[in-house]
Structure 1
Amino acid sequence: MTQEDHDNQEFDERPSKSQVKREMLALQELGKAIVELSAERVKQLPLSEKLRDAVLLAQRTTAREGRRRQIHYVGKLMRDAPAEQIRQQMDTWANGSRQETAYLHSIERDRDKLIADDAALTPWLDAHPNVDVQAFRSLIRAARAEHKKNLALLPGQEPQRKHYRALYQAIKAATPAPENNQTTMD
């Protein structure tokens, strides 16, 4: 291998200027996203003390140009940060909350089906065998009666929701939570 071939091979292994710039801009965007987080979440990220201080200062900076410069500085410090770990944690927070929302919506759907239709109870009980059937049926009856009374209310009167909420809590207690629940409760 000649010296020229060695130099060409070394040149081919280096990233292009465009690639370096794309990576730098991606780190700057990640830094900007970190600045938008709450101080509590920032403390949970694997950031160096210098980077954490810079992020917290950017959060406190109100002057437009000063904030822009501070965010730019955060982006520069991000070059030495574990960007992939930070992205994963932020993705977990974002997807975890979506997962939690979907879980709570499924509980609401189950509650509404159980109040609306007697035929929904048997399949639900089959899927949740550890439920006290007698107490659960009693909750459903009370929620249905409460729902019927609420339909007869005049405009401006407050509906009762005691049994409606109790049924929701019973369904939630019987339905297993999604795996990533612990990361969404921060």
Structure 2
Amino acid sequence: MSRKPKKGYFVRGQFVAEGSELDLQLKAESKGAEGTSRTDQKRESEALQALGEALLELRADRLERLALPDKLAEALAELRRITDFEGRRRQLQFVGKLMRRLEDETVAQIRQALDEQRAGPAHEVALLHEAEQWRTALLDDEAALGRWLERFPATDAQQLRALVRQARKDRAPEKPGQAPRHGRAYREIFQLLRTQLNQHEDEDEQPHGDDA
């Protein structure tokens, strides 16, 4: 049974298979002849290799949505398993080689997915900080409750009022000079505020009316 001939071309009498190291090298040199310097090529290659390594940071659901080529997905899985320094270095080079074969659109999607995931922790910190600010305002300012309920009408107003009253009682020091105490109500206010802030953001992200 005859083998299926490999796709490729001849250069100076030598057969070059498509996708081979020599093929990639010749294409890179061709780009260089068109105006891309070797330094630029090296910088781009290193950037794509680093981007490939960064894919290990992605959560499984985000990685799955990218629909990467099977060969790259398998290479990343192998890279994750390797602990030996030299073996990991060689595998990372292989990942970089596969990354250079990706379409520009796929590379852009990878960068976007990484940026979105990295922005998550910073966004969560901002949300927690906002909840803390509202809790302080509710305990120190009588008018803060009305402002909160106006902005978040879905809040259980009776529950929040009861928690605020209890938290104010709990924090009153038993003796002059003692630091304020924070009991269970203080913590429950924070959880309630955080939940409402999260739900409010989720609703804002949902399409409404003609946008649906």
Q: Which residue number in structure 2 is paired with residue 163 of structure 1?
A: 185
Structure 2 residue 90 is the aligned partner of structure 1 residue 69: yes
Shift of 1:44: 4.4
Q: Which residue number in structure 2 is paired with residue 137 of structure 1?
A: 161
Structure 1 portions without partners, runs of 5+? 1-9, 181-186
2:148 to 110, 113, 124: 124
Shift of 1:138: 1.2
* Structure 1 CA distance for aligned equivalents of residues 168 and 136 of structure 2: 10
* Structure 2 CA distance for aligned equivalents of residues 91 and 108 of structure 1: 26
Letter matched to residue 165 of structure 1: R
Residue aligned with 1:167, SS: helix
Q: Which residue number in structure 2 is paired with residue 4 of structure 1?
A: none
Q: Which residue number in structure 1 is paired with residue 38 of structure 2?
A: 17
Taking structure 1 as the reference length, the TM-score comes to: 0.72
List per-residue Cα deviations over 1:59-112 (Å, max 9, x = no partner).
Answer: 111111111111111111111232111010010111133212211221122112
Equivalences for residues 14-163 of structure 1 within 5 A? 14-37=35-58, 42-81=63-102, 82-148=106-172, 161-163=183-185
Moved more, 98-107 or 55-64: 98-107
Shift of 1:166: 2.2
- Whether the 8 Å contact between 1:107 and 1:168 is mirrored in structure 2 is yes
Taking structure 2 as the reference length, the TM-score comes to: 0.64
- Whether the 8 Å contact between 1:35 and 1:55 is mirrored in structure 2 is yes
RMSD of aligned C-alpha atoms? 3.2
* Structure 2 CA distance for aligned equivalents of residues 137 and 56 of structure 1: 52
1:174 to 171, 188, 196: 196
Between the aligned residues of both structures, percent identity stands at 39
* Structure 2 CA distance for aligned equivalents of residues 96 and 83 of structure 1: 20
- Tell me: CA distance 1:151–1:122, structure 2 relative to 1, closer, same or farther (3 Å): farther
Structure with higher RCO (Cα < 8 A, 6+ apart) = 1
Structure 2 portions without partners, runs of 5+? 1-30, 207-212
Shift of 1:151: 9.5
* Structure 1 CA distance for aligned equivalents of residues 100 and 39 of structure 2: 16
Q: Which residue number in structure 2 is paired with residue 7 of structure 1?
A: none
Residue aligned with 1:58, SS: helix
- Whether the 8 Å contact between 1:103 and 1:177 is mirrored in structure 2 is no
Letter matched to residue 109 of structure 1: Q
Shift of 1:38: 5.6
Residue aligned with 2:172, SS: helix
* Structure 2 CA distance for aligned equivalents of residues 11 and 78 of structure 1: 19
* Structure 1 CA distance for aligned equivalents of residues 35 and 66 of structure 2: 30
Structure 1 or 2, whichever has the larger Rg, is 2
